[in-house]
A = this chain, B = another copy of it.
């Protein structure tokens, strides 16, 4: 049985930096499922065109191919699919639990990620495959309305991040995970963007004194240190 996760990579194929793919990685590990993490570039649209309708130009990762013929895209839909297909060890649960995880997804994407991107956007760009750099620059500059260099604003990003993380800090004073005593889907959803920073930045984004940094550490240690062992630009610079 083939299970393939199409997984965005950088100039070095070992750099896996998509926050959305990281949600899928953690979810698959949570379920104890084996899979091939197939490297994919932004410019490899044709390779995953099968995952969307139309001409494939909107295709993006993560894409999960399960059992050779079940195709799921979108990280939240992948987590939902995994809960339906492999009901043991739930990720999202159902109904209101799932709905609240969806809110946490939107909180992460609209409050946390924009802050982190202002800190790491040039780190990402520099470590992309050169075939992806023009596409990344053009698409992101259109989205931002400014150049990557103008968008890059670590001071503003830090201030935004500090404000955005306030509810998570309050939560983590009470509980070790967003999902309570053990890690679950809501944690993986929020964690993805922190892996982007870890992989592409070369230095830690959060300190060990920060309760969010400690939460990140707990997630890095999950599944026998799976995420902690992921290649980062720091290892590549050292070699």
Contacts and interface: CB of A to CB of B under 8 A. Distances in A.
Interface of A: 90, 93, 95-104, 106-107, 109-111, 166-168, 170-171, 174-175, 177-180, 184-186
B170 A96 contact: no
Contacts of A106: 166-168, 170-171
Contacts of A90: 96
Contact of A102 (B95, B96, B97, B174): B174
Contacts of A186: 96, 99-100, 103
B93 A180 contact: no
A47 B185 CA distance: 44
15 contacts: A95-B180, A98-B180, A99-B178, A99-B179, A99-B186, A100-B100, A100-B179, A100-B186, A102-B171, A103-B104, A106-B166, A106-B168, A107-B167, A109-B170, A110-B167
A59 to B, nearest CB: 21
Contacts of A171: 99, 102-103, 106
Contact of A100 (B109, B110, B174, B178): B178
State the copy count for this chain.
2
A178 to B, nearest CB: 6
Interface residue SS majority, chain A: helix
A74 to B, nearest CB: 12
A46 to B, nearest CB: 30
Q: Which 4 A-B pairs have the closest CB atoms?
A: A97-B97, A99-B180, A100-B100, A106-B167
A170 B110 CA distance: 9
A175 B93 contact: no
Given A99-B178, A103-B171, A110-B170, 16 more contacts: A93-B93, A96-B179, A96-B180, A98-B180, A99-B171, A99-B175, A99-B180, A100-B104, A102-B174, A103-B104, A103-B168, A106-B170, A107-B167, A109-B170, A111-B166, A111-B167
